[in-house]
Amino acid sequence: MGCLTLIMLIPLVKLINDDFRWREVAVWWLAAMAVCAAGIAVTQEGWSEMLAKIGLNMLLLFYMGAGVVLYTAIKSHKLINPVNSYIGLGDILFFVALTPLFTIKQFAWLLVSCMVFSLMWWYVVRAFKRYPKNVPLVATSGIVTCMMIIFDIITG
């Protein structure tokens, strides 16, 4: 693990904080995280491997997005753009920024882990607050990502 991995924690922690506080994330922090992720991927595996990971993981995100659109269309009996209704653009860009770091299998597990952790967060908050308006997906997913990065640093 290089210095870049530790540096990536800076925008990641800032994104987590901002999403918890304001339910908004700044695009420049997402860009900083994306640059760090790309830098890590290039230095560890090279350009071709990084581009292959980005391509496969973007395909997975596309299929998931198409599934969300299909689900919302069936649920509401009309075609709805889920961005800003069900998921924020910052949430999408957060996952796009992580695409260079993981193989397709790791990325799928990351997405599942993030969604499960987000649901757990929602249930805990719901126990203390009537109904949370929304889930800070970048924050909850960022916590899972931080834990993965720290675990990777510790285990080498």
DSSP alpha helix (H) spans, 2-155: 3-22, 27-45, 47-76, 89-98, 104-128, 137-155
Q: pLDDT, tens digit, for every residue of 118-150?
A: 999 999 998 887 777 789 999 999 999 999 988
Q: What is the DSSP string of 76-111?
A: HTS----BTTTB-HHHHHHHHHHGGGS-HHHHHHHH
pTM of the model: 0.94
**pLDDT band of 112, cuts 50, 70, 90:** very high
Distance CA 118, CA 140 (A): 6
Q: pLDDT, tens digit, for every residue of 48-66?
A: 999 999 999 999 999 999 9
Q: pLDDT, tens digit, for every residue of 90-110?
A: 999 999 999 999 999 999 999
**pLDDT band of 20, cuts 50, 70, 90:** very high
